[in-house]
Amino acid sequence: MSIKEIQQQQLIRLLKTAQNTEFGQQYDLQSINAFDEFTDRIPISFYDDIKLQIKELKQGKSNIFWPGKVNKYAVSAGTSGEGKHLPLTDARLESDRNFMQKVVLNYLKKNPNIFDLWGKHISIPGTLEEKDGFQIGEISAYTAQQAPWWLTPFQLIDPIKLSQLPFNQKVNQTVDEALDSDIRVITAVPSWILTMFKEVLDRTGASSIREVWPNLTLLVCGGVKLANYKPHLEKLMDKPDVSFVETYGASEGYFSFTDDWNRTDMKLVADNGIFYEFIPNPLPDQDAMAVQETVPLWEVEPNTPYAMLVTTNSGLWRYTLNDIVEFTQTDPPRIKVMGRVSEMLDDYGEALYAYEAEEALKNISQEMDIEIGNFTIGATLQEGAAAPQHFWFIRTPEQLHRDTLDRLAQNIDREVREINRHYAIRRESNALGLPKVYSISQQQINNWLASKGKDKAQGKLPAILRDEEDIDFFK
């Protein structure tokens, strides 16, 4: 089937299944037969639009967005807001299992020697808790619960038990038991793999992870962008035959994964209980996004930034993810995740997207031959300063000398001027000062996450810092 046929089939199934729910009757879902009817009748939704109904679901009400009651909720641990609890239906959890099976089968197809994996597996899931008759936790904790039975003998520690521990305790217990084990596979957020690797090297005195785990074969990563961590992980491992699989998922579902080790884009899964829509060149303001036109998956074009909307078998309807993706090809669809719609720094009219900043850093790192990982940017007008300025906090393997950081600032300023005309205009008019760059460590990032209560499996550093106290934290 073509992508259009596959996605139309997904949409019709979703509409038919939910037609007798409150939402289905409100919008007369049973009479919708085409994409245009669907978008004309059903509004784009954000979390604030559905949070009251989610509260009713938690109180035991049924058949609101999807047939039946919902007693499982995924808490959003990303950077787009606090306290977002999204429903997880049995149908959604089954789709998540199907997604993971696709990942495993694709890996085994390319690496048929299953004995390479015949050792212990580390999995660091998020936290899961029982509350008022329902479960709530990070999506990785539910994924751990869904793991097939035959994986149990390989698990270093039961991931279900780990999901009940505070996060620092998970990592410490994992390292304690892993040091003398034959580790073959690690599944975790890249930032926590990096933290674990450094802890292992500190405890053992080894010069590389290869000395500790010589048979490490596969890293399965998600939650934050792998490209920002992969060079550092490879350097610490000193083991070029390790495969990386990146997955792109969220509390709303799993969407894409690495199916080709020679590519940096990911295959978008189109037949797994999710109907996709895309807003080209999205505006960061929700009110503006709510009235922008969308295109279906079969009409997207390469190299255009899109905000992604999903309609899913967990009862989300035209729900905005706040992610920006670009298609590298459309048939079959392959994507790169560029950043967040809301990750725009516009405190002083500069309108700088995080993915534009990332592009600038990528160019500079190659030019200066410097290893640069993830980063965050804030803007403030310091007391006594002639103009506001940007503060760039960049994770590097080693602390960089101030002279190098000052050269970085000059090059960042040059690159961003070329990429973003709003920034260029404000720099030329002296409405913005020269940026200031600081080198930070993963431990500093972990400390900041802990201070915010975000030291969780999917906890991550936002690309944009909004509060001056957060800027001061990293200085």
C-alpha span between 159 and 92 (Å, rounded): 20
The per-residue pLDDT for range 99-132, each reduced to its tens digit, is 999 999 999 998 888 888 999 999 988 888 888 8
**Quick check: 197 and 189 in contact, CB under 8 A?**
no
Give the list of residues 6+ apart from residue 34 with CB closer than 8 angstroms, or none: none
C-alpha span between 259 and 245 (Å, rounded): 8
**Quick check: 104 and 215 in contact, CB under 8 A?**
no
The per-residue pLDDT for range 5-21, each reduced to its tens digit, is 999 999 999 999 999 99
- Point out which residues pair with 280 in neighbouring strands: 306
The per-residue pLDDT for range 386-439, each reduced to its tens digit, is 788 999 999 998 889 999 999 999 999 999 999 888 888 888 878 789 999 999
* Amino acid (one-letter) located at 240: P
C-alpha span between 216 and 366 (Å, rounded): 29
pTM of the entire predicted model: 0.81
**Residue 29, exposed/middle/buried by CB under 10 A (0-12, 13-18, 19+)?**
buried
The per-residue pLDDT for range 377-392, each reduced to its tens digit, is 999 887 767 788 999 9
Domain with CATH 3.30.300 in the chain: 344-474
Q: Count the neighbouring beta carbons within 10 Å of the beta carbon of residue 125.
A: 29
Q: Which CATH number fits domain 344-474: 3.30.300, 2.60.40, 3.40.50, 3.40.720?
A: 3.30.300
The per-residue pLDDT for range 146-170, each reduced to its tens digit, is 777 777 888 999 888 888 887 778 8
* Amino acid (one-letter) located at 313: N
* Amino acid (one-letter) located at 141: A
pLDDT(345) > 90: no
C-alpha span between 100 and 256 (Å, rounded): 10
Mean pLDDT, rounded, of the chain: 90
C-alpha span between 310 and 47 (Å, rounded): 13
Give the list of residues 6+ apart from residue 234 with CB closer than 8 angstroms, or none: 240, 242
Q: Count the neighbouring beta carbons within 10 Å of the beta carbon of residue 185.
A: 24
Calculate what percentage of the chain has a pLDDT beyond 90.
Answer: 58
Nearest Cα residue to 167 out of 146, 195, 136, 134:
195
Q: Count the neighbouring beta carbons within 10 Å of the beta carbon of residue 130.
A: 11
* Amino acid (one-letter) located at 86: L
DSSP category for residue 76? P
pLDDT(81) > 50: no
| Geometric angle at alpha carbon 315, from 309 and 318, rounded to 5° | 20
